[in-house]
């Protein structure tokens, strides 16, 4: 799922293109993409676009008369921009699931997935928009004290805490791995076990990692990104998606634990004192044969 740096990239590129432009029409091509009944799609037509913003992991298009379109990309949703405005052609809704036609081009929402989780919610009124806002803490406008309180509200793993949208804003599976590597903390470390110094270090690592990648994405994609450009797997990530590749700090192979659709990547040596974390499926299968340390794994 696109996270804060990716969503900020979309927001910035859309601001450059649609703010000040009139929306000619909005069409949901797949019936499952639209998650609201009021206002109707036709009501957005002929409204001027006055803003683009980020709401957690969602992109918000703001139009005159306090009309909003909130786009949630989920895992497989991506945005595409075509300019000049292409000839009007109706999609079958299988890949291109919705289209916003502006005076200067078309913004399309595509989703290459049979599950069709991406969504668009049309909203009237700023108060109604605020109802969608999750309680996640904005790291860039909060203090280390607020961060610590939020982190310790529930005793759970650091990975779970960082990726909870009601706890922290804009962090998902990929960047939580990168943040925890930068902080040199195990993803399964319990939040209650952290010292005040470790909390401060994690706070600074979270802000540093997200801001560095926000800037990096803007530099990498000065034009509107192609769907493949927005991905959770980047060659210059330290750990995420790099299972088996050498750690950029110590050179030992990056490890992983898998749960459902999510994969957690970490360096056993840098983050867990050389100990391997138990994979829920493999460790249960192998039982006593499951290696406990990196040295045992390498010896095999």
Walk along the chain (300 residues) in steps of 10 and give the mean pLDDT of each run: 95 98 96 93 97 96 98 96 87 88 96 89 96 92 96 96 96 97 97 97 98 97 96 95 96 90 92 86 44 47
Kindly report the number of other CB atoms within 10 A of residue 262's CB atom: 12
Cα–Cα distance measured from residue 185 to residue 204, given in angstroms and rounded to the nearest whole number: 13
Of 101, 131, 161, the residue that ends a domain is 131
Dihedral of CA 72/76/77/80: which sign?
positive
Kindly report the number of other CB atoms within 10 A of residue 191's CB atom: 21
**Which residues sit opposite 157 in a β-bridge?**
190
Give the list of residues 6+ apart from residue 92 with CB closer than 8 angstroms, or none: 29
* Same-domain pairing of 67 and 189: no
State which residues form the domain around 168: 139-299
Of 99, 131, 163, the residue that ends a domain is 131
Cα–Cα distance measured from residue 19 to residue 49, given in angstroms and rounded to the nearest whole number: 5
* Same-domain pairing of 119 and 76: yes
* pLDDT for res 262: 81
Cα–Cα distance measured from residue 109 to residue 78, given in angstroms and rounded to the nearest whole number: 6
* Same-domain pairing of 44 and 152: no
* pLDDT for res 93: 75
* pLDDT for res 1: 82
Of 105, 131, 157, the residue that ends a domain is 131
Give Dmax over CA atoms of the chain in angstroms: 67
Q: By CB neighbour count within 10 A (0-12 exposed, 13-18 middle, 19+ buried), where does 41 fall?
A: middle
- Main-chain phi, psi angles of 105, to 5 degrees: 165, 180
pTM of the model: 0.90
| Whether 13 contacts 224, CB under 8 Å | yes
């Amino acid at each position: 799922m696109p996270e804060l740096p990716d969503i900020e990239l979309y927001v910035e590129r859309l601001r450059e293109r649609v703010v000040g432009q009139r929306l000619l029409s909005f069409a949901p091509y797949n019936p499952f993409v639209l998650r609201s009944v009021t206002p109707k799609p036709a009501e957005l037509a002929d409204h001027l676009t006055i803003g683009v913003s980020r709401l957690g992991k969602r992109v918000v298009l703001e139009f005159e008369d306090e009309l909003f379109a909130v786009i949630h990309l989920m895992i497989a949703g991506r945005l595409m921009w075509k300019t000049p405005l292409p000839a009007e052609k109706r999609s079958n809704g299988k890949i291109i699931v919705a289209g916003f036609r502006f005076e200067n081009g078309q913004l399309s929402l595509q989703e290459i997935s049979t599950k069709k989780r991406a969504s668009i919610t049309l909203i009237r009124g700023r108060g109604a928009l605020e109802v969608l806002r999750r309680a996640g803490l904005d790291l860039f406008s909060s203090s280390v004290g607020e961060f610590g309180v939020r982190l310790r509200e529930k005793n759970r793993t650091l990975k779970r805490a960082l990726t909870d949208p009601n706890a922290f804003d804009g962090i998902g599976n990929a960047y939580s791995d990168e943040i925890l590597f930068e902080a040199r903390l195990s993803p399964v470390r319990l939040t209650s076990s952290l010292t005040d110094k470790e909390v401060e270090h994690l706070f600074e690592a979270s802000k540093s990692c997200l801001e560095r990648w926000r800037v990096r994405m803007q530099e990498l994609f000065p034009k509107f990104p192609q769907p493949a450009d927005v991905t959770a797997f980047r060659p210059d990530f330290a750990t995420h998606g790099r299972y088996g590749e050498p750690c950029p700090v110590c050179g030992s192979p990056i490890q992983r634990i898998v749960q459902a659709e999510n994969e957690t990547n970490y360096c056993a040596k840098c983050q867990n004192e050389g100990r391997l974390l138990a994979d829920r499926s493999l460790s249960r299968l192998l039982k006593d044969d499951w290696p406990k340390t990196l040295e045992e794994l390498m010896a095999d």
